[in-house]
Amino acid sequence: MNRIVLVLSCFLLFVSSSLFAQVVNVYSARHYDTDDEIYSKFEKKTGIKVNLIEGGSGAILERLKREGKRSPADVFITVDAGRLYQAEAAGVFQPVKSALLSKLVPANLRHPDGKWFGLTKRARIFLRSRDRVKEGEITSYEDLVKPRWKGKVLIRSSSNIYNQSLVGSLIAAHGEAGAEKWCRGLVANLARVPQGGDRDQIKAVAAGEGDVAVANSYYFARMLNGTDAEKAAAAKVAVVFPNQGNRGAHVNLSGIGVCANSPNKANAVRFIEYLMGTEAQEVFAAGNNEYPVVKGAGTVAALEAFGSFKEDKVNAAVFGKNNAAAIRIMDRAGWR
């Protein structure tokens, strides 16, 4: 059945290509209505038809591998540097040279050889209990492993790609031995066996199960505009951007690259350049309560309220490449 669906969807893409003079075939792991709005505006402005196929990151990557040189995909959009590296290692992307993209996308948020470019970014932050943790009492990722926080830290499992990328950034900062020592210290300080998603960690702090949660910034922004129960939980915690006194908070991204066998490369590059425009950046980032990557583009009110912060400038390609080592280290440390 999957093979039939794959063949049919590819057939439809090629039919569409024959009906329109210009097309760009987009494989995306993002699923937001706001994205469709941007694609429609791109079509109206350029006359280039956007053919969209959506799915999970893993499923689309496997599909691209199966399609190989026969793939009609022009661009691949996915979430997290770890997944971008997996796609890069599988030969999915090709290098792109664009003066505009090099100008607009910060160096730490694009591949050094132009194989992918960040679209939106998010910070891996702390949410501290307003009642039990004073402002300034915890300020860095390194603080999480101090004796003060034994039985107080809440974080999701090691199988989560966001945590794998965080550890990948710690490998870049402290080496593999230092990162493993950190992971062991974190496990020793956990309030409970990791369970649930980022919002579950925040809710657990609000419920008194721990004092500090680690979560992506957009999850907390969602809670501030969520159900009454989520708003009530959010009111009991405060945002902490880690490592503001040194390297900065860990920042991850969603990204996009031109596929290795793109049949419409010029259109693909034009599409990516369009997504870096101020209007597109603001709409794209707002779809998931994320930060735009382009300077000067505005963000949602919830994130504005968090204030500005210093971000870790290590290139996302570095901690993406460190993913395999990060997983081994987390396993050895007993982080489940």
Query: 289 and 301 in contact (C-beta within 8 Å)?
Result: no
Q: Is residue 309 part of a domain?
A: no
Query: 39 and 25 in contact (C-beta within 8 Å)?
Result: no
Do 171 and 212 have their domain in common? yes
Do 22 and 104 have their domain in common? yes
- Tokens describing residue 32: 């937001």
Q: Model pTM?
A: 0.91
Do 91 and 173 have their domain in common? no
SS3 assignment, position 138: coil
Range of the domain at 206: 122-249+317-332
Q: What is the pLDDT along the chain (336 residues), one digit of tens a residue?
A: 444 444 455 545 544 444 446 999 999 999 888 899 999 999 999 999 999 999 999 999 999 999 999 999 999 999 999 999 999 999 999 999 999 999 999 999 999 999 999 999 999 999 999 999 999 999 999 999 999 999 999 999 999 999 999 999 999 999 999 999 999 999 999 999 999 999 999 999 999 999 999 999 999 999 999 999 999 999 999 999 999 999 999 999 999 999 999 999 999 999 999 999 999 999 999 999 999 999 999 999 999 999 999 999 999 999 999 999 999 999 999 999
Distance separating alpha carbons of residues 79 and 30, to the nearest angstrom = 8
| Total domains, the chain | 2
Distance separating alpha carbons of residues 162 and 113, to the nearest angstrom = 24
Do 74 and 96 have their domain in common? yes
Do 211 and 323 have their domain in common? yes
Distance separating alpha carbons of residues 2 and 276, to the nearest angstrom = 34
Distance separating alpha carbons of residues 251 and 313, to the nearest angstrom = 8
Do 86 and 127 have their domain in common? no
Do 104 and 144 have their domain in common? no
